């Protein structure tokens, strides 16, 4: 089954929110001492890069609206293939620098409702889907993400 572009945008948005949550209260020193957080952040960047890569294949016009999408995909490739020589200061710089500006460009569109594909919902209980941790109603959280200028 082919996924809709909005589903990839949803995955990107969710991964971006997770990264933000993972590093709340962290500085570089604390980040470099916490391998669990490093691994979690890197995994979310991998998800973002892969989602963008797939999005670029099925909807290049949508992907091209995302600033620096090719660099984000390249960063994912570095995380995957260059893990042995990865410099955590580079990851931290992405978290603190351009990444924050890029992440802020994603907004929730109220134009139409869009539920995530069913296979994403299987891992969460109905209660979790209707009452997410951030308190937003599930229907609001499942609006398609869009890139704003």
Q: Model confidence over 90-118: pLDDT tens digits? A: 999 988 876 556 555 554 332 333 445 44
Q: Model confidence over 28-51: pLDDT tens digits? A: 999 999 999 999 999 999 999 999
Please state the pTM of the whole predicted model: 0.69
Question: Domain coordinates of the chain in residue numbers?
Answer: 5-147
Which pairs with CB-CB distance under 8 Å and at least 24 residues apart come from 25-33?
A: 28/89, 28/92, 31/88, 31/92, 31/95, 32/88, 32/92
Instruction: Indicate the pLDDT class of residue 145, thresholds 50, 70 and 90.
Output: very low
Check whether 141 has a pLDDT greater than 70. no
Cα gap 144→9, rounded to integer Å: 7
Q: What is the pLDDT of residue 110?
A: 27
What percentage of the chain exceeds 70 in pLDDT? 65
């Amino acid at each position: 089954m082919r996924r809709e572009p909005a589903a990839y945008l949803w995955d990107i948005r969710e991964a971006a929110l997770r990264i933000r949550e993972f590093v709340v209260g962290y500085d570089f020193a604390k980040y470099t001492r916490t391998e669990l957080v490093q691994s979690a952040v890197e995994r979310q960047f991998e998800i973002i890069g892969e989602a963008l890569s797939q999005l670029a294949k099925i909807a290049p016009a949508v992907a091209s609206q995302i600033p620096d999408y090719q660099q984000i995909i390249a960063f994912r490739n570095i995380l995957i293939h260059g893990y042995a020589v990865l410099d955590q200061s580079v990851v931290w710089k992405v978290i603190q620098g351009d990444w924050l500006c890029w992440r802020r460009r994603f907004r929730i569109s109220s134009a139409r409702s869009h539920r995530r594909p069913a296979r994403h919902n299987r891992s969460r209980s109905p209660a979790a889907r209707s009452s997410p941790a951030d308190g937003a109603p599930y229907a609001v959280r499942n609006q398609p993400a869009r890139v704003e200028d």
